[in-house]
Each structure stands twice: as structure tokens, then as C-alpha cells.
Structure 1
Amino acid sequence: MARWDERPLVGRTAELATLLSAVDRAVAGRGAAVLVAGDAGVGKSRLLDELTGRAAARGLRVLTGHCVDLGEVGLPYLPFVDLLRPVADELGDGAAALFAARSAAARESEAADLGSPVRALRPPVDDGRLQLFEAVATALSGLAADTPLLVVLEDLHWADRSSRDLVRYLLARLTGEPVAVVASYRSDDLHRRHPLRPLLAELVRLPGVERLDLGPLPDADVEQLVRGLAAGVPDRTVDDVVARAEGNAFYAEELLAAGLAGESLPLLLTDVLLARVEQLSPAGQQVLRVAAVAGRRVRHELVAAVGGLAPADLEAALGEAVHSHLLVVDPDGAYRFRHALVREAVLADLLPGERVRLHAAVAAHLAGVPGAGTAAERAHHLRESNDLAGALSASLDAADEARRLAAPAEQLQHLEAVLALWPAVPDAAARAGRSQAELLLDTAAAARRGGELHRAVALLRSAQDLLGPDGDRELRARVHSTLAQALGRIEDQAAALRESTAAMALVPAVPPSPVRTWAAATHARVCYDVGRRAEGDAAAEEALAAADALGLDGAWADVAVSLARSRGGEELPARLEEALARARRSGDPDVEMRVLFNLAIVAYEAGCSGETLRWSDTALARAAELGVEWSFYAAELRHLGVVSRYVVGDWDGSLALADRLARVPEMAAHVRAAGLLVQVGRGDPAAAERIAWARGLVGRLDAHVLLLLATAGAEIDLAAWAGDPATAVATARSATETLTGLWGDDRLAVVRLAATALAPVGDAAATARLTGDAAAEREWTAAGESLMAIARSAVEAHARLIGPHGVEAAAWIARVEAEAARLAGRPAPELWAAAVEAFGYGHVYEQARSRWRLAEALVAAGDREAALEPLTRAADAARELGAAPLLAAVTALARRARLELPGAGRVVETAAVFTPRETEVLALLARGRTNRQIGGELYISEKTASVHVSNILAKLGAGSRTEAVALAAARGLLPTG
């Protein structure tokens, strides 16, 4: 694993700019100084390393001095000895001239040893300090007279008094010199009586001196730092390090090393953190122990009740902890640890008995004082004090609180804590008011609401194992039915069918019951998914009638969606809106999100992207209100919102929605992956990194179809713009194979992949034809034909199994047919015009891409004048979207076709670059002629033909004949006659 200071600087752009501004002022001849403050490990030294490297690259001389913690016994002027030693070593006897301002006596007594900065800086007597200070200032001024100077002083909090006085003098004295002084110090070490504090207050009032506070790195920068330290770090490890490091680079490095080694808190880091704690008095350390056990934040009343200190001693101890920057006071009066890792270190240092006793005391205080703490806090302290029964009850209360607050992730956490405690508490069922199997069902429901579908499946399977074949039939049916829904959402349709069938077999249809009604509704949905329409219709009709009879609005709405989607028709939106009214009346958020998703997707399939956005935005606001933002259908709606914004041309909004939340469940990773469409379309260099991230998730979640499609689509498009047809073809084939295995004949989505991959394949075939490479032309033609077969097979299967396709699919089918003609070497502008029209349903980017190809086809067909209009419109759209690759392709086509495209620059005529004879030779080169053949056709010697070919290659900067032809074509210099 690389050290963090060996990697490129992460973050700190604004802070580095501030420091470089001071350097620039020094270069301009004005003194400047910056005092850099920050906690230990936050990255001060790494930032200063970057600064010194940048300053040296700008031609400055850099001198660096370090202060050292030597306790009460310090070496005077140590940092200045450190920074001037290299100068003295370099100048040797010439160093004497630098200290011309010193007294004659000083000069005579020390002249023999001026090569040693230790002797040079030691004042002979106390009243000679001014001479010494002026000597140092003169030395720095003399050095800066030849080259601007950057003086870096690190760890000023450890500076001795003499060094502090010299810093004060220099910053006042060097204001008119080309010298920049940058001094760093630890802000967390500056207790109230620290000797550096008054000096800092004085220095910031000097002209040209500014203070720079180095705060914690943002989480995104810490994540980038961690991923740069070691390759292939698991996401969970990265998330843990980011959360615990709290923006501290050193802590992040140590935590990563510990995490990769399987440790909790590394010993080195524990020692560093505890060293500061152990400097406190015994009472101060006791306060920290109580606070550490109580939690990250603790109120004064709790410390007073548990700490066992007299009021006066408590006040003094808390003051000591605050002034030492171990605790800070929040605006509401509560105390919290300045950094969570300090708390972790204090906790780790507690003896087991002491920890249990303190947790019990905290739990007793929370229970005895109304409103003193939450149920979650009580549960934690009861569990840590070994009161497991009390912890189980408190965890149940905490889960109920989380449910009321619409916080499914926290509810899941507390319910899983109850499940863990269940075997150790004899009366667990009585305390919970339900059986363990019912609790597993409730826990699975929380997991589903939080987007943890695989966890929900595991919990439901545990419930099945617990119930066994002889358990309560209705409860078993509920588990089977719920499991069928979860399995369907992770693309395991075969298992979902087995579970829904088992649920139907356990409960009779007569008399109607809620369990049977939901079982039938679920079975109908699963049957439609696997193509068993008659069985699905029967189950749906039964569920619909029973739901009406029992007043089960949620079940009615759910089955109504399944029926409406299965049967389609013009009345579909109206039926879905009726289902929405019933779903909202039922209070079932899962069903409501399903109805909203179907309203949005029906609009999308009809080509009504604006309507799609209306429904998806409404649904996402409702999901946030209900606290189910990452439940299955809420995630699908977010994904649909990202894609719809991409389609209508709101690329900024699309990317913002994809990245709105920092962390998402793995089953919602396709939301973030959908942002790749914009990144690739804009030519963002970060797209490749995000594709690699998404591809890694696809490997783990091999049944996540939307993640697969988003990743494969972006990878194909990126390969297309990079001129890499092999990658595009391989990716399209692999994705098709996976999708066919999961969805069988219902794989219409692969048409888009095939169409996108056909673009670079067509380019490769065209290049092969241009250069006369018959073997390459055959290879790429065969590859393109295999892609066309994939697309056409998917269209035929969809028509046979499902019926007519929507407008989006029609547009991609039109694109495939146009690409097929291009692959065969036929311009076919009529096919590209059909693609332009097909994407006119509202897909701004793809319509622009089709216009670009239409213009290309028109040029190839000899109608250059007609090509200008679609080419201009494609360029306008590309500029509006920020689609740099498309704009570059449009501009290149305009140059090749010698069309005056607004904003693309003047057209260069071939005659302005090549002589008439070179133009003739270039035309024959493009046809693959050898030098002998060129000479024969032009009635010149082979040697003369060779000279003309060499001149052409030189003018184009080409290394080969093939490259020369390609470059000439790209620049619009290839003769058209």
C-alpha cells in the first residue's frame, strides 16, 4: 500500500491556491506570510510538500525548517538552524557575507565557524539578539535578492521562545522583500495557555500576513485518497474508513491499513490519540471515560450523575478537556469529542469491568430521567452492561421510533439487534408481542423499504427454516408470498414462481382472506413475468374480487397494476390512476410506489418524457415523505428520472439526480451508473473510472439487469468514441448473453446496445474500404452482421411473446437499419432520415447523432448542400448539451465535406496544402496504389512518385501511407474527384 504523501494531492485546491498566491506576491517583490492551522494528521505537511514542489518549479528557492517537540528543554533557533544549514553548506566560507549586519565582535568571534549555522545563529550575549535577528533577516534578503525565496516553518506549536521571537521579527522586517513565509501549527494543541496563542494574535495584525485554517477533507476526497492508497479496496472498507477518519488524512491511512489487516483500531493510532489524553489530570481523564461510554455527545447532567466528581472538580475537569481540544461544546450546551477516534481510543483503553459499570450507570440515568435519551441509546447501554432482556425491549422501542420517523435503515438495524438477542432472553416472544417468525417478517419488510433486497431474502428464508413444514399455514403462506415478491425484484423469477405457488397451496380460496388475496395478487404478478398469462389472469381475477369484498385497497391496487400492464390498451393510464387512489387510501407505501412507477414507465414507453418526469418527480417527493427513498420502486423511479432527463436534454439535471445521495444500496447502484450516459456523452475523463466501479458491481450482482444495461451501454458508447470497435462488440455480445439468460425472449433492450456498437464497427469497415484492407473489411462486416442478428432476433422475439414495441424501441430499430446500410458501404440517407424522425419523439442527443450520420450519408451521396442543415442542427444540439465528442465529430465531417459550419472555422482547400501533382498522388494513395502503380498511372517514375508520397506524409505529419489517407480524410483534404 502506498503512503498517502506519495500520491497526487487530493482536495485542498482552494488552500493550495491561497498559498501559491503568497508565492506569487513574493515573486512580484512583496513579502507575504501565511499561517497554516490544522489538527494533527489533517494534511498540513502534505499540502506544504505540494507547495514547495510547485514553488521550486516556478523558480523559487525553498528553505524548510522543522520545530521539534523537546519538552521543557528546547534548542534555541532550531528551525532556523535547520533551514539555513543547507545554505551554509552550499556557500562554505562565502556564507559570512550573508551576515554582514552583525557586530564586528560577533563577526570576529565566529568567522572561523560561519559554515555552521548553529554558531552563526547563537547570540553571544542576551542584548545581542537584535543583531542576530537582523543578521538572519539580512541573510534571507540576500538570498532573495538573486532568487525569490519561500521559507517554510513546520510545527510552530513546538517552537522555542527564541524562535517565536525571531518569527515575529522576520514577518515585520521582510514585508518589502521577495520572501514568502509559510508556517504551520497544530490548532488542536493550542490550549488556552499555550505560548503560541498570543503570538498568533499579534502576527495576523501585521500587513501581508494571513491565516489559513485547514479543515477536514470532504468525504468524497477521503474516498479518493483511500482508493488511491490501495487497489481493489472493498466498498464497505472504504465507507468505514471515510466515516471514521472524519476528514483526517493520517487517520484514514492508518484505519485503511488496520482494516486491510483485520484490526479494529491500529496500535500506532491508539498510542497517538491516548498520548494527548494522558496529559490530563486524573479527573480530566475520568470525565473523558464517562463521555466515551455515554456516546459521541454527552450532556453535563449525565457526566455529573455518572462521573462521581464533586461539582467544583467536575467543572475544572471539563474545562481542562475542552481547553485541550479533546472535547468541544456544542451550541446546545452538550459536550462532544472533537474527533470520534479519540472516543474509540478511550473506550479501547477501559478495563472490562469499568466499562460494564459505566454503561450500567448511564443506562440507569437515562431510564430515570424523562427525555434524557432515546430508546436506541438505552438499548445500547443496556446491552453493553449485559442487561440483555432490557436491551431487547429497548431495541423494540427503538425500532418503533425509527418506523414512526420513516427511517427503515435504522429500523432494520434495531430489529436485527432484537433477533440477535432473542435466544438469550427466555420471554422474548412476550416482550416482543409476536413470534420470532413474525419478527423476521417485520425485519424483512424494513430491509425491503431500505433497498436491502438480498438481506430481505435471507431473513425470509430464515423465517421459512424456523417455521418448518408444520408451522402455521397462514404465516407460512405470508412468508412464501413475501419471498416471491422479493425474489422477483432480484430477477430470480423461477424461484419467485415456486414461492408464489407454495403460498397459493397453503391457504384456500374460500372463504376469502387477506393472506390468500395477497398470495393470489403476488402469484398473478409472477405468472405474468414468466409468460404464464392464463394462470396469471385467473389469479388476478380471484385477487381483484377478494380485495373488493374484503376492502383491501392495497391488494386491489397491486393486482390492478398487474392486470393493466398485462392487457395494455388506451385505458391503461386511467386504470393506473384509479389504482393510485386506492393505493394511497391503503397506506401501503410499497404498492403506492409501484403504481407511481408504472404511471411513469407507461409515459416513458409512449415517448412522453415530460409526463415521465412529472410522475417520477412526484413519486420521489412522496418517497422522501414516506422514508422509502431506496425501496425497489423508488429506486426505479429515480433511475427513470435520471434517464428521462438525459433523453430530454437536461444533462446537468440528470447527473445531479444520479449523484444526489452520497451512498446508495447496492441494488440501487444502477441509479448512479445511469449518470454514465451524460459523462460519456460529454467526454468526461472520469467516465472510465465510474465504468470500472459499475463493472465491478455487475460482477457481484449478476442478476441486476438495469445496472448491467447502464454499464454496458456506457462502455459501448465510450469505446465507440474512442474508435475501439472490438470492445464495443465484445461488450454488446456479453450483455446480450447475460440478459437472454435472465429474461429469455423479452430482451428488446439489447437493440440499443447493438445499434450503439454498430457505429464503431461501421467506422472500422469504412476505414478498411478506404485503405483497401479487404481482410479487415470482411472481419468488421461479419462482426456488424452478428450485431444486426442480435437486434433483429430480439425484435422478433418481443413481437411473438409480448406484441408491438414502443416508440423508443422503434427509434433504435431504425438506427440499426441505417447502420446496416452504412456497414455495407451504402450511404442510404433515407434510412438516416427515418432514424432522425424516429428519435424526434424527444430524444435530443440521439436525434442529433442521427442528424450527424444523415449529413455524412448526404455528403457520400453527393448532396453536400442538403447536408449542411442537419449538420448545423446536430452541432447546435451538441453545443447545448456540452457533448464534446459529438461536436468534434460534426466539425470533422464539416471539414472533410468542406462545408462552412458556423463556429467550426474556415474550410481549408486541398490546393492550399498540396500541389496539383501531390493531390493526384494522394487520390491514388487513397485507392491503395503502390508507388510503381502511381508512377504508371501518372506517367512519372517510381522514384518521383516516392518523393511525392514522402512530401504528402511530411505535410500531414503521418508515419505511414494508411495514416496519411486517414488524416487527409479527417481534415477534409482528400480529393473528391
Structure 2
Amino acid sequence: MLSSVETRSVSPVFVGRAAELAALGEALARIAATGEPQALLIGGEAGVGKTRLIEEFAEAARARGALVALGGCIEIGSEGLPFAPFSAILHTLNWHLRDELAAAVAGQEGELSRILPELGETPGEAHDEEIGRARLFELTARLLERLATDRTLVIVVEDLHWADRSTRELLAYLLRALHDARVLLVATYRSDDIHRRHPLRPFLAEIDRMRTVRRIELARFNRDEVRSQIAGINGSAPEEDTVDRVFKRSEGNAFFVEELARGLADGCLHGLSDPLRDLLLVRVEALPEDAQRVVRTASEGGSTVEHELLSAVCGMPEDDLIAALRAAVGSNTLVPTQDGTGYRFRHALVREAVVDDLLPGERTRLNRRYAQALEADPSLVRSDVCAARLASYWYKAHDAAKALPAVLAASVQARRRHAYAEQLRLLDRALELWDDAPPEVRQGVRPVDYTEAYPACGCDDDALRFLDLLAEIAVAARLSGDSERAFTIAKRALRSLREEDDPLRTAWFLVQRSRLCQGTGRGNGWEDLGRAQELVRGLPPSSVHAEVMAAVAGWSALHDPGPDAYTTAERAVELAQLVGDEEAELNSRVTLAGLRIDSGEVDEGLTDLRTALGRAVDCGYFAVIGRGHVNLPSALEGVGRSREAVEVTEQGVRLTTHYGLKDTTSWVLGNRAESLHSLGRWEEAGRAATDARRLAQNRRGMALAANHLTDLALDRGDLAEAERELVVAREYYGTHDPQPQHALPMARHALRIAARQGRLLDARAILEQALEGGFPPGIQRYAWPLLWWAAAAESDARG
């Protein structure tokens, strides 16, 4: 409605930035020449001209046939909306390439709807949320690669300093994962906002280590450039004393040059006070009273505010509102959004100045009105942002009774989008609000289980409901990568449970702490698992009981395989069947099948493993699909069927790649390298191990690849390379959680290196240390090679 209102303070002439524009153009040219992705990060202080540079480049890129999609990070309170810029980018791509995009996402609409809701209904939570998040990132990367097959895509993420953690992690993933794709990734951020503890700092440090990413820092304009900018704004060359005054006041900041030039044109430059906030407020204060009121109201709505929502909050007659908005847009304070549904401040600095100028009570009242309007009519905003906006408004309105349920509802939506860091922040707010919320509000909150294994309390006991909240925080912290926080919360919950006679809740938290204990290097986690097993012993079947037994069976298969582990795995299968958890049942069947193979029932165990894997594929249980395609080729290699193992890995790579299970693909490739090595196909084995390392997403995946590369280097006679790779393997495996399948191959490599260097006593010591631990059943595939090379070392030493 207001998009045609004239604005006069932006120069129609693009000033300076020749080097920066050339760098962007060169990146585009390299993509055309090589077909390989490029990436640039553009930093600069607020107002220095980052957005204008992007606008000029986008226009030039479109003229060269590229498809440009922009998305901006949105500031809402202290957190952004999960994946907001990528939602906008995929929306643009969907609008331009609807049929192509539909074909590219076929079969994956549900998963990708977590970022682009218009693709369909978002599925519920998977049993293994870590895999779900990895799949989402990988599917997004593959989608961009498919859409860039016949064209160059320019993907721009603006205002990265406001990005939520999920957005930063997805961007970092794309920077690493895009290969052979005609994609140019560009991101902008405010460098002056990046203080020492800003969450973008570690992201930028990580990006700096990537050779494929170029950083550009925009400097302020010099005096000649300021003169050119004023001339472009005014349409004529300015007086030199005017250039001096504007340059001195603006210090070359492009946005302040515009503000000062406009003030000069309006005859109000004289007498302006020095503080920049006052400079930014001059134009707002010159507006009619109704327009000032609308601008102040819009400032609390967020980075952008929808027209219908603003209308509901302002409560003005429509004609008066349009007149006020026309004045605000005409003064270039507000501008219509690209999609024409609302408004944003032309520059974030103006919004910040307006918000700063509001009284505390005024901010509280405005946020309450936004919350009330949105609660009365959620259709005023897009459905995928409604929960987060409502939670933010009620929180800033300081109404704990309303904010607690709103924050919890927003946390559920964040979890369903795999935005675990944002979910954790929301749950932290819930923890902050808990004591201030009335008891009836706390009792009305119904916990939403994460794993379907945590027992919902089903009663009005405040202490138990608080434990439900701690359970959600523990899982969210673990999934977001904050293992230390998850460990602390689990300890806090277990302390609270000392006062309660609640074995199921206690067992559930013990399983979580066991997993975290292993993940944070505190030990192997058995103490907590053993206690959890004792707590559920003799209790009626339950989902928690099944989870405990599945965890114990999995732990035993890796650390202490044998008859007891076999019995535990059988019990885990039975319990999962009793409580109707098919995914947990299939996961336990994979464990049981592996133990059956190790016990000597090879054909029966392989059949069971293939059957469980087939059911998992039919039902879409991605965690089981991934684990099964790692275990099956490993089991085949363990019984000497290397050629069959290689064939299975080919299918495994296809399936795990299709489902976006990038880290699992790394493990499958590691197994492929081992079997190819056994067949004497060393060159292929080396490529598979290198690819496994490139795709690995965790320390154990890296160590697996390093182990295979150590083995290959030893067989090739490259002792120096073998030593380097063995150091990597030891570093990644660590010593807190020794497992025979890792420890024995590393002992073998170390023994071979010592023998090759003539250190026979060291080789004997390595063997003796390995023998002290004993060889449990199922470890023969790792024990025999160690014993063989030990015998070879002794034989060689005796000639």
C-alpha cells in the first residue's frame, strides 16, 4: 500500500566500495568457471553500508543470470527465531522454482518443513533427535545443490549478529558440506556489536579456519566519498564547508551521512546535539503526533511488524493509521517489507534509538498489548513464528502467569524444528519464571515428553512437575551440545529425587547422566547404568524400564560382551515389545543380532540383523537405519566375508546419503575402508577412509578413520604417517571409556610401530598391557591380528 511513497535520503548513486563489489563479482565468476561453491562474510559497523553493498551486488548478479535469495536474522528479545533467514531464503526459492523445488524435496517434505513450513506438516519427534537434526542440515545442503545444478544461486544471510544458534550452525554446516555446487553464500554482520562474549565470536573464529571463506571488512567513507554521497542525495555538488561539517559529524559512517544530509536539506542541521541517539530521533520527533505514536509502537513489535498486528495494537481508525504510516514511510523512518505484509525500520539504529527513548512502563504496556492482540487472533502473524513472538511479548510484559505457558509452548515448537539451542534458552526462561508463576498455572502445565520414555507425572505435585521441566532442560542441553549444562541439570534432578520415592524418574535421570558421563570424559557411565538397572528390577514393564535395559544391553555389547549381555539384550527386546515401542525394539534387536553373531550363530544373527534393518527402512526409523548399516558390514567383516561387506556398504552409503545421515555415512565408509583393505584394494580403501574423515561429525568418527589410515600406512611402509595417524586416533578416542573394539586395534598399531623401530621391549609391554584386560567373547576379530603381529615381531627379532 505504501511502497510507492517517495524517500529522499538514500543516494541514487552507489558510492565507493569498488574493491568489495569486485570481490563479490570475482566469487561469482569463479563459480561460473569451476562450478565450485564460494563464500564471503562481510563485516562492518552499524550504518557503514553493508545492506547497500548487498543490494548493488544482488542487482548485478541477477543481471548475470544468477538467482538471488535473501534472508535476514530477526531480533526478538534476546534470541532470534530458529532458522528465520533460511526460512525466508527457501520461501524465495520456492516462489521462483516451485516445480523444481517440489521435485527436489520429494519424499523429504516433512523434514524440510521444519525450515519451510509451507512444504507441509512438520512430523513429530523422532526417537533419536541428534540424527534428526543432522538429517535436516544434510537435506538442506543437498536441496541447494540440486537447485544449483542449472543455475548459480546467491544465498544471502543478513544481520548474522542477531542469528540464533541453529541458524549459525546450519550456515557453518553449509560452508563445510556444499561440494560441486554453483552456490555463493554471503553473510553480513555488525562488527561493532561483536563483544568478547557475543555468540558470533566463536563462529567467526571457526570460519576463519576455512580456506574456502573470505572475510571482508567495510571501512568508513573517506572525505571524497562523503562528498559524492551528499551530491547523490541532493542532486548537486555540495559546498566544501558542508562536506567538512558532515564528514566531521558522521566520521564517514554512510548512514549518518544520509541523516545529516537530510537534516541539512531540511534546514535543521544547526543546533543538533552531539549524541548520536538524538541525531537519530530528530526525524522521528519531526513527525506528526499520530505517526510518532505508530513508530514508537512498531519499535517494540520486533525487527519487522505485520500491518494487521500493528493495527490491532495501535487501536487507531484505519484511515488515521494509514495517514500516520504514510508520514513515517515518507520520512524514511519505516519502510514496507519485501513481501508487502508489514513494516520495518529503515535502519536498526533508528529502532534502537526509539526503543531506548521509551519509558520502562511504556515498554511493558506495549508488549502486553502485542501479546493480548496476538493471543486474541494468532492469524495476525505467520503460524511458524506465532509461538516465539507470543512468548517474547509476554516475557517482556513481566507477566509470569501468561509467560510461563507461552514460553513452554514456544520451546516445544523450537524442538520440533530441531532448534535445540533456542529451545534451551526458552526453557531457561521457564525455569526463571517458575517460582513467580501462580501454583494453578504451574499445575496446568502439561509436560511434553522428549523421548517418550520419560514418565509424565499425571498429578498435581509441584515438585514432580518441576522435575519434568528439569528433564526437558537436560535433554535440550544435551541435544544442543551443552553437555556440561545437561550434566549439571541431571545432577540437580537426582539430588531432588532423594526426597522422592520415584524409581522410574530416578532411573531415567541416571540413564541420562550415564550417557553424559561418557560424552564428557568423566568415565564409562556404568555406575549410573548399573544403579538404574537395580531400580527398575521387579517393576512392571514401562517405557523407562525398556530404555534402561536397552542402554545396559548396548553398553555391555561394547564393553563386556558375553552371556550376560546376550540375556540383557533379549530382555530389552521383550520389554520394548510389551510397551509398544517398535523403534526401541528394533534398536535392541540390532544389539542382540550382533551378540548372536559373536556367540557363533553367524547365519542366524545376520538374518536377524537384516530383518530388523528392513523393518527400520520400511518404518523410517533413521537411528536404527544408521546403526544397522554400520553394524551389518562390520559383522560381515568380522566373520571374514569382506567382499559381501563391501557390497553392503555400497547400499549403506546410498541409503544414509538419501536420508541425510551424514555422520552415519562416515562410519559406513570407515567400515568400507576396512573391508577393502582386507581385499588388498588399498587405493580404494585409502579414498574411503579419507572420505570417512571428511564426513565425520564427532570424535569417534574421526578416530575410526584415523585407525584405518594408520593400518594402511603401516602396510605401505610409511612409518611416519602411521605414527601421525595413531596420535590422531588416540586423541579422539581418549582414555575415559576404553572399549576393546578401539583399544585392541590401537595396541596392534603401536606394537607394529615399536617392532619396526627395533623397540622389542616396548612391543612386549604393549602386548602385556592388552593381555591384562583379557579378550571377552566377540573380540576375536581384534585379538587375533594383535597376537599375530606380536608373534611376527618376536619371530623377526630372532631372524
Distance verdict in 2 for CA 1:552–1:638, change over 3 Å = same
1:290 equivalenced with 2:290 (yes/no): no
1:533 maps to amino acid: G
- Equivalent residue of 2:552, what SS? helix
Please tell me whether the aligned partners of residues 613 and 628 of structure 2 are also in contact (alpha carbons under 8 angstroms): yes
2:608 maps to amino acid: R
Query: Which residue of structure 1 lines up, in the alignment, with residue 143 of structure 2?
Result: none
Please tell me whether the aligned partners of residues 493 and 529 of structure 1 are also in contact (alpha carbons under 8 angstroms): no
- Equivalent residue of 2:740, what SS? coil
Query: Which residue of structure 2 lines up, in the alignment, with residue 279 of structure 1?
Result: 283
Query: Which residue of structure 1 lines up, in the alignment, with residue 468 of structure 2?
Result: 438
1:800 equivalenced with 2:775 (yes/no): yes
Query: Which residue of structure 2 lines up, in the alignment, with residue 40 of structure 1?
Result: 48
1:394 equivalenced with 2:406 (yes/no): yes
Deviation at 1:375, TM superposition (A): 1.7
Query: Which residue of structure 2 lines up, in the alignment, with residue 530 of structure 1?
Result: 559
Alpha-carbon distance in structure 1 between the residues aligned to 2:292 and 2:593: 67
1:567 equivalenced with 2:600 (yes/no): no
Alpha-carbon distance in structure 2 between the residues aligned to 1:453 and 1:598: 26
Alpha-carbon distance in structure 1 between the residues aligned to 2:393 and 2:325: 24
- Equivalent residue of 1:298, what SS? strand
Query: Which residue of structure 1 lines up, in the alignment, with residue 341 of structure 2?
Result: 333
2:299 maps to amino acid: A
Query: Which residue of structure 2 lines up, in the alignment, with residue 470 of structure 1?
Result: 500
Please tell me whether the aligned partners of residues 665 and 692 of structure 2 are also in contact (alpha carbons under 8 angstroms): yes
Query: Which residue of structure 1 lines up, in the alignment, with residue 550 of structure 2?
Result: 521
Alpha-carbon distance in structure 2 between the residues aligned to 1:233 and 1:12: 33
Alpha-carbon distance in structure 2 between the residues aligned to 1:814 and 1:793: 14
Deviation at 1:472, TM superposition (A): 1.7
Please tell me whether the aligned partners of residues 710 and 723 of structure 2 are also in contact (alpha carbons under 8 angstroms): no
Please tell me whether the aligned partners of residues 226 and 238 of structure 1 are also in contact (alpha carbons under 8 angstroms): no
Deviation at 1:588, TM superposition (A): 7.1
Alpha-carbon distance in structure 1 between the residues aligned to 2:188 and 2:722: 28
TM-score (norm 1): 0.45
Alpha-carbon distance in structure 1 between the residues aligned to 2:551 and 2:628: 15
Distance verdict in 2 for CA 1:550–1:15, change over 3 Å = closer
- Equivalent residue of 1:425, what SS? coil
Deviation at 1:362, TM superposition (A): 0.8
2:375 maps to amino acid: A
Distance verdict in 2 for CA 1:425–1:44, change over 3 Å = closer
Residues 19-58 of structure 1 mapped to structure 2, 5 A cutoff = 40-42=48-50
Relative contact order, CA 8 A, sep 6+: which one is greater?
2
1:429 equivalenced with 2:442 (yes/no): yes
Please tell me whether the aligned partners of residues 711 and 749 of structure 2 are also in contact (alpha carbons under 8 angstroms): no
Please tell me whether the aligned partners of residues 508 and 532 of structure 2 are also in contact (alpha carbons under 8 angstroms): yes
Q: 2:696 aligns with which of 671, 682, 688?
A: 671
Alpha-carbon distance in structure 2 between the residues aligned to 1:651 and 1:423: 58
- Which whole-Å deviations, capped at 9, do the CAs of 1:284-313 have from their partners, x for residues lacking one? 665444333212221112223334666456
Alpha-carbon distance in structure 1 between the residues aligned to 2:22 and 2:579: 63
Please tell me whether the aligned partners of residues 364 and 398 of structure 2 are also in contact (alpha carbons under 8 angstroms): yes
Please tell me whether the aligned partners of residues 557 and 565 of structure 2 are also in contact (alpha carbons under 8 angstroms): yes
Alpha-carbon distance in structure 2 between the residues aligned to 1:556 and 1:317: 60
Query: Which residue of structure 2 lines up, in the alignment, with residue 556 of structure 1?
Result: 585
Residues 646-795 of structure 1 mapped to structure 2, 5 A cutoff = 671=696, 704-707=699-702, 725=720, 729=723, 732=726, 736=730, 739=733, 741-744=735-738, 746=740, 748=742, 751=745, 781=757
Alpha-carbon distance in structure 1 between the residues aligned to 2:401 and 2:204: 30
1:279 maps to amino acid: R
Alpha-carbon distance in structure 2 between the residues aligned to 1:41 and 1:645: 51
Distance verdict in 2 for CA 1:376–1:796, change over 3 Å = same
Please tell me whether the aligned partners of residues 706 and 728 of structure 2 are also in contact (alpha carbons under 8 angstroms): no
Alpha-carbon distance in structure 2 between the residues aligned to 1:231 and 1:788: 52
1:575 maps to amino acid: D
Deviation at 1:361, TM superposition (A): 1.3
Distance verdict in 2 for CA 1:318–1:408, change over 3 Å = farther
Query: Which residue of structure 1 lines up, in the alignment, with residue 664 of structure 2?
Result: 637
Deviation at 1:363, TM superposition (A): 0.7
- Equivalent residue of 1:371, what SS? helix
1:545 maps to amino acid: E
Residues 447-486 of structure 1 mapped to structure 2, 5 A cutoff = 447-448=477-478, 453-486=483-516
Query: Which residue of structure 1 lines up, in the alignment, with residue 370 of structure 2?
Result: 362
Deviation at 1:476, TM superposition (A): 1.6
2:648 maps to amino acid: E
2:609 maps to amino acid: L
Query: Which residue of structure 2 lines up, in the alignment, with residue 611 of structure 1?
Result: 648
Residues 133-148 of structure 1 mapped to structure 2, 5 A cutoff = none
Query: Which residue of structure 1 lines up, in the alignment, with residue 129 of structure 2?
Result: none
- Equivalent residue of 1:424, what SS? coil
Alpha-carbon distance in structure 2 between the residues aligned to 1:532 and 1:436: 38
Distance verdict in 2 for CA 1:503–1:581, change over 3 Å = farther
Distance verdict in 2 for CA 1:573–1:293, change over 3 Å = farther
- Equivalent residue of 1:741, what SS? coil
1:239 equivalenced with 2:203 (yes/no): yes
Alpha-carbon distance in structure 1 between the residues aligned to 2:606 and 2:330: 62
- Equivalent residue of 2:546, what SS? helix
Query: Which residue of structure 2 lines up, in the alignment, with residue 898 of structure 1?
Result: none
**Please, which moves more after superposition, 641-650 or 471-480?**
641-650
Distance verdict in 2 for CA 1:447–1:272, change over 3 Å = same
Deviation at 1:340, TM superposition (A): 5.5
Deviation at 1:378, TM superposition (A): 0.7
Deviation at 1:390, TM superposition (A): 0.8
2:596 maps to amino acid: R
Alpha-carbon distance in structure 2 between the residues aligned to 1:817 and 1:327: 79
Distance verdict in 2 for CA 1:601–1:653, change over 3 Å = closer
Deviation at 1:331, TM superposition (A): 2.0
- Equivalent residue of 1:13, what SS? helix
Alpha-carbon distance in structure 2 between the residues aligned to 1:252 and 1:637: 44
2:775 maps to amino acid: R
Please tell me whether the aligned partners of residues 751 and 767 of structure 2 are also in contact (alpha carbons under 8 angstroms): no
Distance verdict in 2 for CA 1:617–1:287, change over 3 Å = farther
- Equivalent residue of 1:561, what SS? helix
- Which whole-Å deviations, capped at 9, do the CAs of 1:794-822 have from their partners, x for residues lacking one? 98789834556669x9999999999x99x
Alpha-carbon distance in structure 1 between the residues aligned to 2:429 and 2:24: 44
Deviation at 1:384, TM superposition (A): 0.4
Query: Which residue of structure 2 lines up, in the alignment, with residue 542 of structure 1?
Result: 571
Alpha-carbon distance in structure 1 between the residues aligned to 2:367 and 2:483: 35
Identity %, equivalent residues: 22
Larger Rg: 1
- Which whole-Å deviations, capped at 9, do the CAs of 1:135-163 have from their partners, x for residues lacking one? xxxxxxxxxxxxxxxxxxxxxxxxxxxxx
Deviation at 1:409, TM superposition (A): 5.0
Please tell me whether the aligned partners of residues 788 and 816 of structure 1 are also in contact (alpha carbons under 8 angstroms): yes
Alpha-carbon distance in structure 2 between the residues aligned to 1:604 and 1:319: 75
1:579 maps to amino acid: A
Deviation at 1:216, TM superposition (A): 7.8
RMSD: 5.9
Deviation at 1:421, TM superposition (A): 1.9
Alpha-carbon distance in structure 2 between the residues aligned to 1:811 and 1:322: 79
Query: Which residue of structure 1 lines up, in the alignment, with residue 98 of structure 2?
Result: none
Alpha-carbon distance in structure 2 between the residues aligned to 1:388 and 1:487: 35
1:13 equivalenced with 2:38 (yes/no): no
